[in-house]
Structure 1
Amino acid sequence: MIVKNKWKITGWLFAAITCLWLCSFLSSCGKAPISNPNGLNVKYQILNLSPDAFPVDLYIRFLKINTTSYTFNVNQGYFYLPYLDTPFLIRSSLTVGGGPVLVSRHDVLKTAAVYSLFITGNVADNSLTSIFTVDTSSVPALGRGKVRFVNASPTGTGGIDVYANGVKAFSKVIYPKYSDFIELPNGYYDFQINTTGSSTILQTLPKVQIQDGRLYTLYSYGYTNRTDSAAFNTGLITNR
């Protein structure tokens, strides 16, 4: 009888230990989303707008995150971040195993958020810099969308004005700054980009559709004093 009781006690003890191990295992699994893109739900994008930075890569925890390097004026769109640890390092991809650090960011990121990083300036004259934006905003009124402007053009230090169908939407946005989001009624817009205080049109984006509930970022890049691939230009991102 005593032997049987011992076996019962041993069996219960084994079951309890097994149960505790399973709970610990499941608990550790529940913490896995810390390094899981879907768990973090943080969307991020990088726009390389520097004509002489050449292809660059993003490193987090000193590990290369992207599979395709970021080249000049090629928007790869948003991706989910696997980690939020800082620093975020932008390194040249021209060296195997990671080239020199060109940009280092220590931004505090929040889960379920959306961000963009604009890389601009020149490596040659040590003017390379970055513009970090939070790509979320309150929901626009019914029948309206939201637009903002990012001045990533190094020769736009005196400011840039933006007109939407002939009406000034953004005034004197200096480099390297950006505006708040503004609401615009749904429809098609011709966006005209001018140097602040000048009637000279730098660029026109015709027939841009602003849709209900959407968020957009209009941005400038390049140089007004160049006529090659690094000349002044504009682009548009749909943030939501």
Structure 2
Amino acid sequence: MAVVLVSIVAGCGGDDPDPTARLRVLHASPDAPNVDVLVDGNKVLSNVPYSAVSSYLTLTAGTHRITVNAAGTATTVIDVSPTLAADGAYTAIAANFVASIQPLLATDQTQAPATGQSRLRVIHAAPDAGPVDILVNGQVVLSNVAFGAISSYLPLAAGNYNVQVNVAGTATTAIQATVSLGSGVNYSAVAIGSVKTAASNPLGLKVLTDG
């Protein structure tokens, strides 16, 4: 996976640095080509393939223009200018099919839960999966979750969990995975892939460590 990471940190006079924020990028558009990511016109990620997630990039806090191009071209498919808060951490997701590609911006939890505890949130980024229910160890914890939704963090004891993504209101399971949650750690479980692209990029969970 050829991913080039460049941290952009703008300094100021004296010994006190400008406030900073952190941003990472997940390529979750199942039929899109590899992409380049630019921040304020500077390429910070190159040739990012589907399902890859970058490390956190450090940026000055404030508003930044983020563009996503087809790799090696000037063809821009996403162009947004989010405002990043000082000390904040964010996950930007390139979601949906390439013809309707859109950004999802999630604010990541940066404070660790107590020892022995964990937090897990769910992000629905599978464009043709329809509304879904999320089950943890057989119990429904989130109902009728629409594409593009970003849940709140759910507190859970550290340990291993069976996570199912079901077609909403049914027992039909589209995704099933065992998720291991560490003590004092926050996670995002991102539903990615597609029914249409099942042969190459099937439905699945991408589990990220947050903050």
Per the TM alignment, residue 155 of structure 1 is displaced from its structure 2 partner at its CA by: 1.1
Q: Deviations over 1:131-177 (max 9, x none)?
A: 100001665355321100000011133x1111111111222110011
Q: Aligned match of 1:167 in 125, 130, 139? A: 139
| Cα distance in 1, alignment partners of residues 96 and 209 from structure 2 | 23
Supply the AA of the counterpart residue of 1:234: L
RMSD of aligned Cα (Å): 2.3
Are the aligned partners of 2:61 and 2:84 in contact in 1 as well (CA < 8 Å)? no
Supply the AA of the counterpart residue of 1:224: V
Are the aligned partners of 2:115 and 2:184 in contact in 1 as well (CA < 8 Å)? yes
Supply the AA of the counterpart residue of 1:173: V
Higher strand share: 2
Are the aligned partners of 2:122 and 2:189 in contact in 1 as well (CA < 8 Å)? yes
Q: Which has the higher contact order (CA 8 A, sep 6+)?
A: 2
Q: What residue in structure 1 maps to residue 181 of structure 2?
A: 210
* Residue segments in structure 2 that go unaligned for 5+ positions in a row: 1-10
Are the aligned partners of 1:54 and 1:92 in contact in 2 as well (CA < 8 Å)? yes
Number of equivalences: 201
| Cα distance in 2, alignment partners of residues 70 and 83 from structure 1 | 24
Supply the AA of the counterpart residue of 2:187: Y
| Cα distance in 1, alignment partners of residues 48 and 196 from structure 2 | 25
* Residue segments in structure 1 that go unaligned for 5+ positions in a row: 1-26
Identity %: 21
Report runs of 4+ in structure 1 exceeding 3 Å deviation.
Answer: 31-34, 82-85, 137-142
Q: What residue in structure 1 maps to residue 4 of structure 2?
A: none
In the alignment, structure 1 residue 54 sits paired with structure 2 residue 27? no
- 69-78 or 195-204, larger mean C-alpha shift: 69-78
Q: What residue in structure 1 maps to residue 14 of structure 2?
A: 30
Q: What residue in structure 1 maps to residue 173 of structure 2?
A: 201
Supply the AA of the counterpart residue of 1:212: S
| Cα distance in 1, alignment partners of residues 123 and 115 from structure 2 | 25
- 145-154 or 78-87, larger mean C-alpha shift: 78-87
Per the TM alignment, residue 49 of structure 1 is displaced from its structure 2 partner at its CA by: 1.1
In the alignment, structure 1 residue 224 sits paired with structure 2 residue 199? no
Give runs of aligned pairs for residues 13-162 of structure 1, distance below 5 A.
29-30=13-14, 33-34=17-18, 40=20, 42-66=21-45, 68-81=46-59, 84-95=62-73, 99-123=74-98, 126-136=99-109, 139-157=112-130, 159-162=131-134
How high is the TM-score relative to the length of structure 2? 0.85
Supply the AA of the counterpart residue of 2:13: C
Per the TM alignment, residue 225 of structure 1 is displaced from its structure 2 partner at its CA by: 3.9
Per the TM alignment, residue 33 of structure 1 is displaced from its structure 2 partner at its CA by: 3.8
Higher helix share: 1
Q: What residue in structure 2 maps to residue 179 of structure 1?
A: 151
Q: What secondary structure does 2:83 align onto? A: coil
| Cα distance in 2, alignment partners of residues 59 and 31 from structure 1 | 28
How high is the TM-score relative to the length of structure 1? 0.75
| Cα distance in 2, alignment partners of residues 50 and 204 from structure 1 | 20
| Cα distance in 2, alignment partners of residues 162 and 209 from structure 1 | 16
| Cα distance in 1, alignment partners of residues 163 and 134 from structure 2 | 7
| Cα distance in 2, alignment partners of residues 79 and 86 from structure 1 | 13
Per the TM alignment, residue 227 of structure 1 is displaced from its structure 2 partner at its CA by: 2.6
| Cα distance in 2, alignment partners of residues 198 and 94 from structure 1 | 43
Are the aligned partners of 1:87 and 1:106 in contact in 2 as well (CA < 8 Å)? yes
